[in-house]
């Protein structure tokens, strides 16, 4: 496997761009910490001098206590920023209801003429094995969309990695997620909650189109 494929999917939403930037930021900090620890360990191993009179040094203790606290502060600030962005609620232009079943997804566009359909995995697809479905979720890009997610039977999890979206489908509870797709394309995800024997066979396929094509699709349903 190529090392270029061992990373995140290409982002298609502002939230995923923030998450990838935060990941890279944390990775840089971890590399610096690891390098510093190896340097200190190697210097302690190779150093033959001992300070037998060093019993208590309050300045040194203050420094090695303050530095980790400062590092945690640098990690906390962007993390809280992304958490508030994830929970931010705005006025969406489109609302789609998603219901998880054993083992398929059903979608409903109640803002228009109550369009609803079920989405099953295509079993024999050599190009998109365990990913493509017979009915894709069609959404317009550059449009703020609200997803209302629940479950009909057991716990499911609607997950779309390229959108940075992951929300649980809980029976008897309605969860909300706001997404903003930046470009057209076809994106794939899978249920991320172990929901039974066919858990691996309920994928998610989303197709992003422009607004005129989305309206034409609505009239064709």
pLDDT tens for the chain, 221 residues long, are 444 567 778 888 888 999 999 999 999 999 999 999 999 888 878 877 666 666 677 887 888 889 889 999 999 999 998 888 887 777 888 999 999 999 999 999 988 877 899 999 998 877 788 888 999 999 999 899 999 999 999 999 999 999 988 999 999 999 998 899 999 999 999 999 998 898 989 999 999 999 999 999 888 87
CA dihedral 171, 172, 174, 175 (to 10 degrees): -40
- In terms of CATH, what superfamily is 94-220? Cupredoxins -  blue copper proteins (2.60.40.420)
Res 45: pLDDT: 81
Res 4: pLDDT: 55
Residue 132's H or E segment, with its range, is none
Give span(s): CATH 2.60.40.420, the chain.
94-220
Res 7: pLDDT: 75
CB 177 within 8 A of CB 149: yes
Residue whose entry in the numeric block shows the structure tokens 């971890």: 30
CATH code for the part of the protein at 14-87: 1.10.287.90
Res 181: pLDDT: 92
Res 43: pLDDT: 83
Give the bridge partners for 105, in sequence order: 100, 119
DSSP secondary structure letter of residue 87: T
Give span(s): CATH 1.10.287.90, the chain.
14-87
């Amino acid at each position: 496997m190529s090392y270029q494929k061992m990373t995140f999917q290409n982002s298609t939403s502002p939230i995923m761009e923030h998450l990838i930037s935060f990941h890279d930021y944390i990775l840089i900090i971890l590399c610096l910490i690891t390098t510093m620890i190896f340097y200190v360990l190697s210097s302690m191993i190779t150093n033959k001098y001992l300070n037998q009179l060093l019993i208590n040094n309050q300045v040194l203790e203050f420094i090695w206590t303050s530095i980790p606290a400062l590092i945690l502060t640098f990690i906390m600030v962007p993390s809280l920023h992304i958490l508030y962005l994830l929970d931010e609620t705005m006025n969406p232009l489109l609302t789609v209801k998603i219901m998880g079943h054993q083992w398929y997804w059903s979608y409903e566009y109640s803002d228009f003429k109550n369009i609803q359909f079920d989405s099953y995995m295509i079993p024999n697809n050599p190009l998109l094995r365990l990913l493509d479905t017979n009915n894709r979720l069609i959404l317009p890009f550059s449009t703020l969309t609200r997803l209302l997610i629940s479950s009909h039977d057991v716990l499911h999890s609607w997950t779309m990695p390229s959108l940075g979206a992951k929300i649980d489908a809980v029976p008897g509870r309605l969860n909300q997620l706001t997404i903003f797709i930046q470009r057209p394309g076809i994106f794939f995800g899978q249920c991320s909650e172990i929901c039974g024997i066919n858990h691996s066979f309920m994928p998610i396929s989303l197709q992003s189109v422009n607004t005129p094509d989305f309206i034409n699709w609505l009239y064709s349903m």
